[in-house]
Chains A and B, each alone.
Chain A
């Protein structure tokens, strides 16, 4: 095969989603025979940058140059025609179509230019599957609907789909996340072949060990900005982590008094908790303690909170206070004074079009008799609104009239009215302004003083560092590190999230 040649360079890329800046000043350079690793913390803009290069997202600013010519990609098809293919993090497969149909979608070999040549499709699909032979089960064959495959097999199909285009530039966005070690090895062998052929590869991964193994060059993104690019030999894990983390530190206000929770009674003790995602987790939290849950997004953190609250079924032992419990419905957890502030307040936490009063009392109307004693309800609601320092025009105003931060206070307020003993927070400060965050942190401090045990999952590392006594880091549904005291630092947290020095995927 003749050697391909390609060079792509993206300069000063900018992308906003509404008011949120996804990319502010991102650069990327890659050429034939090179593997560029693109790394960065949660929400640093890696996926957005990849989507711009593949034409899925249109940038608001910046310049794309392909083979020394200025280009724009208004649609995925244009990028594809230029020889750019991508393996996406959220898969681009159609579940109810077969493996072969998915792989060849939009470039099916045709008979006489009209009818799909199904024999050739079948044969070439088998040839492609041969590349991963021995690493998947018997279910993976050309005629199998994608919806019947396991996640790793789907990922393989996704990789083969991109490969079937014989692209010059291949983008692998978290393509190894659901693959096992053997499959990753196979993929890396393939990548080595691609380099020989003159293909260029952009490799996005959270696994430091893989990056060190495969990349020639590495670019680091932080808050939508490229903060460093260098050949892999001239850098090491230490420096990359430092670049990802940055030097700026906006650590939230520490709680005024450091409590001594070690003497308090254990509020919740969970051992060997298992769900579809979690693989045997032990958690213990005492009265007045604030336990943080960290790690990359989607490693099972939400599942942990939901399982404790009885939303999803689980196996394992759970002791709350002095009683062994096994909640199968949130109602049971609520009765035991457990509260959950969900991750998505608009869809799970609030009735946006109803009044603040109604929202606050949603879980507690029972206490107000029949007919409802509205005076008492209003009185209680006012008390909570004062505690929360809720900025509102009145209790009868719609929740949708509140700012993001104040709306989140209402979600918290409705549980405060029930006086919880264990408070579960699922990334509560997402999209909340700095001022409200400070109030929120202060409030958590107050709750702790009253003896409430709190488990906080946050995607904001600074929050975990500043607020928590201990932080459990989750990866692939298991606890990979417990940080506290002197080990509770940002670089430790990032390192543990990336699972570096470990590379122990299944």
Chain B
């Protein structure tokens, strides 16, 4: 009975574990960095977290529907180079608009390419998106072989602004959360979880499984483009390899947030918490004078733990039954 209640709770509120981690991580961070919640530090942190949040939210949608996208980092790089190439210090407002639209369009087109390969050509998501990540990374290098470019200062200042006393990035994060809570109540979300949970059942029930899969990759592409925008606004410049490290981190954030890697369970609220936990761990590592290479180790351990977790629990349980 207890088991059933636990299962219900974890299905309805998949972010509970992430919330616990978040509180612990923030607590430790606060110990090392007492001014963590001062406006300046908060704004600085949020500016860094937001690109990760955007890209991880897209990743979460793909993973919930039973897929995975290893090309999000490369898409971020690609869109970043497009942005700094189309928008320069001299750009007029209409130039900026064209640049933004082109950037978002490119992200969605890249995502749609992934989606068509996975949903309609029936290629393995891991292999497909790993392969396409090289295409997108190649396009990024072709557009901008060397780091460079400069955005209008008005744009970067906007990103640093703090409407109503809170950093803009924080508002955007709240907006992502609110958007998810709304989407969660639409048919689209139900279909998403059904496709990820049991695709055969979803098909037999009349859900357009292929279209759903395609749509998740388009969402991931769109969110990667937004992430690239936030990242570019933060740095003000372009770098063809800027997104490289984001792919693995996005998956770690999704898993930390309580989303099951095999699909059908999870959400974006937890994912956002996962991003903050990861970022906070990074802060702690730098403040506690722990070598920075351990960050990769921590990322890897989290993934291995998440993958092995269910198996380990089963093993322990069956052992207990036998004893």
> Nearest CB to that of B203 among chain A residues?
A76
Is A349 in contact with chain B by the CB < 8 A criterion?
no
Residue among B4, B186, B190 making CB contact with A101, cutoff 8 Å = B190
8 A-B pairs with least C-beta separation: A77-B206, A94-B197, A92-B204, A76-B206, A148-B4, A94-B198, A92-B201, A115-B185
Partner of A95, one of B4, B197, B204: B197
Q: How far is the CB of A250 from chain B (nearest CB, A)?
A: 35
Contact in complex: A105, B194 (CB < 8 Å): yes
Is residue B8 within 8 Å, beta carbon to beta carbon, of the partner chain? yes
* Residue contact A80 to B206, C-beta cutoff 8 Å: yes
Once bound together, how far apart are the Cα atoms of A115 and B181, in whole Å? 11
A139 at the interface (CB under 8 A from B): yes
**Candidates B187, B205, B264; contact of A76 at CB < 8 Å:** B205
Q: A148–B8 contact, CB under 8 A?
A: yes
| Contact between A94 and B4, CB atoms less than 8 A apart | no
- Chain A residues with CB under 8 Å of B182's CB are 115
**B195-209 toward A: CB 8 Å interface, digit per residue (1/0)?**
001101111111110
B264 partner residues in chain A, CB cutoff 8 A: 94, 96
**In the complex the two chains form, is A148's CB within 8 Å of B7's CB?**
yes
Nearest B residue (CB) for A80:
B206
Chain B residues with CB under 8 Å of A116's CB are: 185-187, 190
The residues of B that contact A105 with a CB separation of less than 8 Å are 190-191, 194, 202, 205, 207
A145 near B185: Cβ-Cβ < 8 Å: no
Which B residues have a C-beta under 8 Å from some C-beta of A? 4, 7-8, 11, 182, 185-187, 190-191, 193-194, 197-198, 200-208, 264-265
Residues in B whose Cβ lies below 8 Å from that of A96: 11, 193, 197, 264-265
Q: How far is the CB of B211 from chain A (nearest CB, A)?
A: 11
User: In the bound complex, what is the Cα–Cα distance between A105 and B4 (angstroms)?
Assistant: 22
Cβ-defined contact, B7 with A147, below 8 A: yes
Q: In whole Å, how far is A455's beta carbon from the nearest beta carbon of chain B?
A: 27
Asked if A145 meets B7 with Cβ closer than 8 Å, knowing A94-B193, A118-B185, the reply is yes
Interface members, chain A 94-113 (any B CB < 8 Å):
94-98, 101, 105-106, 108, 110
Q: Is the CB of B8 within 8 A of A108?
A: no
- A94 to chain B minimum Cβ distance, whole angstroms, is 4
Check if B186 sits within 8 Å of A143, measured CB to CB. Answer: no
Chain B positions within 8 Å of A94 at CB level: 193-194, 197-198, 201-202, 264
Q: Is the Cβ of B185 less than 8 Å from the Cβ of A75?
A: no
Neighbouring A residues of B4 by C-beta, 8 Å: 139, 144, 148
Q: Name the distance in Å between A167's Cβ and chain B's nearest Cβ.
A: 12
B193, B203, B205: most-surrounded residue (chain A CB, <10 A): B205
Let me know if A106 and B7 touch, CB within 8 A. no
Q: Which residues of B contact A161 (CB under 8 A)?
A: 205
Tell whether, in the assembled complex, residue B8 and residue A97 are in contact, meaning their CB atoms are under 8 Å apart. no
CA distance A7 to B200 in the complex (A): 28
Q: At the interface, is chain A mostly helix, strand, loop or mixed?
A: loop
Whether A145 contacts B204 by the Cβ 8 Å rule is: no
- CB-CB under 8 A from A143, the residues of chain B are 8
CA–CA, A77 to B206, complex, Å? Answer: 4
**Taking the complex as formed, is A327 at the interface, i.e. its CB lies under 8 A from any CB of chain B?**
no
Contact with B along A81-95 (1 / 0, CB 8 A): 000000010011111
Further contacts, 16 of them, CB under 8 A, given A92-B204, A106-B207: A75-B206, A92-B201, A94-B197, A94-B202, A95-B197, A96-B197, A96-B265, A101-B190, A106-B191, A108-B190, A110-B187, A114-B186, A115-B186, A144-B4, A145-B7, A145-B11
Q: Is the interface of B mostly helix, strand, loop or mixed?
A: helix
Sample of 5 A–B contacts (CB below 8 Å) = A77-B208, A94-B202, A105-B191, A105-B205, A115-B186
Task: Report the bound CA distance from A422 to B265 in whole Å.
Answer: 47
Q: In chain B, what residue has the closest Cβ to A90?
A: B200
Q: Is A488 an interface residue (CB 8 A)?
A: no
How far does the alpha carbon of A114 sit from the alpha carbon of B182 in the complex, in Å? Answer: 10
Given the complex, which residues of A lie within 8 Å of B7, measured CB to CB?
145, 147-148
Question: In the assembly, what is the distance between CA of A352 and CA of B204, in Å?
Answer: 32
**How many Å from the CB of A103 to the closest CB on chain B?**
10
When distances are taken between beta carbons in the complex, the residues of chain B under 8 Å from A115 are 182, 185-186
- Asked if A92 contacts B187 (CB within 8 A), the reply is no
Q: A145 vs B7: C-alpha distance in the bound complex, in angstroms?
A: 8
Q: Taking the complex as formed, is A392 at the interface, i.e. its CB lies under 8 A from any CB of chain B?
A: no
Q: Write out the residue numbers on chain B whose beta carbons fall within 8 Å of the beta carbon of A144.
A: 4, 8
Query: Complex formed: what's the CA distance from A443 to B198 in Å?
Result: 44
Contacts of B202 in A (CB 8 A): 94, 105
Q: How far is the CB of A113 from chain B (nearest CB, A)?
A: 10
- The reply to whether the CB of A56 lies closer than 8 angstroms to some CB of chain B is yes
| Cross-chain contact A145 with B206 (CB below 8 angstroms) | no
Taken together as a complex, chains A and B put the C-alpha atoms of A145 and B190 apart, in Å, by 14
Q: With a CB–CB cut-off of 8 A, which chain A residues contact B201?
A: 91-94
Q: Which residues of B contact A95 (CB under 8 A)?
A: 197-198
- Least CB distance from A470 to B in Å reads 35
Instruction: Give chain B residues whose Cβ lies under 8 Å from the Cβ of A92.
Output: 200-201, 204-205
A94 to B198: give the CA distance in the assembly, Å. 5
Q: For chain A, residues 122 to 151, give those with C-beta under 8 angstroms from any C-beta of chain B.
A: 139, 143-145, 147-148
A139 contacts across to B, CB distance below 8 A: 4
* CA of A95 to CA of B204, assembled, Å: 14
Residue among A76, A94, A143 having the largest count of chain B Cβ atoms under 10 Å:
A94
Q: Contact partner of A88 among B186, B191, B198, B204, CB < 8 A?
A: B204
User: Which residue on B lies nearest to A149, using beta carbons?
Assistant: B4
Question: How far, in whole Å, are A114 and B184 apart by their CA atoms in the complex?
Answer: 11
Chain A, Cβ-Cβ closest to B202: A94
Shortest Cβ distance from A234 into chain B, in angstroms? 35
- In whole Å, how far is A297's beta carbon from the nearest beta carbon of chain B? 19
Name the CB-closest residue of A to B265: A96
Distance (whole angstroms) from the CB of A116 to the closest CB of chain B: 5
The chain B residue with its CB closest to the CB of A313 is: B322
Task: Decide: A56 and B204 in contact? CB cutoff 8 A.
Answer: yes
Q: Quick one: closest A residue to B185, CB to CB? A: A115
Mask: chain A, 161-186; 1 = CB below 8 Å from B; 0 = not: 10000000000000000000000000
A147 to B197, CA, bound (A): 11
Cα A77 to Cα B205 in complex, Å, equals 7
Chain B residues in 8 Å Cβ range of A88: 204
Bound CA span A202–B206, Å: 20
- With known contacts A91-B201, A147-B7, A97–B193 Cβ distance under 8 A: yes
Instruction: For the complex, give the distance between the alpha carbons of A93 and B202 in Å.
Output: 8
Q: Which residues of A contact B205 (CB under 8 A)?
A: 76, 92, 105-106, 161
- Residues of A contacting B197 with CB < 8 Å? 94-97
Type the 1/0 row for A46-84, where 1 means its CB is closer than 8 Å to any CB of B.
Answer: 000000001010000000000000000001110010000
Q: Nearest-CB distance from B267 to chain A (Å)?
A: 13
Bound-state CA distance A54–B206 (Å) is 10
Bound Cα distance from A163 to B319, whole angstroms? 42
Instruction: Provide the residues of chain B in CB contact with A91, threshold 8 Å.
Output: 201
A27 to B281, CA, bound (A): 66
> Within 8 Å CB of A54, what residues of B?
204
The residues of A that contact B194 with a CB separation of less than 8 Å are 94, 97, 105
Question: Quick one: CB contact mask for A446-467 with B, threshold 8 Å, 1 for yes?
Answer: 0000000000000000000000
Q: When the two chains form their complex, are residues A108 and B187 in contact, meaning their CB atoms are under 8 A apart?
A: yes
Q: Kindly report which residue of chain B lies nearest to residue A104, judged by CB atoms.
A: B190
Q: How far is the CA of A68 from the CA of B29 in the complex (A)?
A: 73
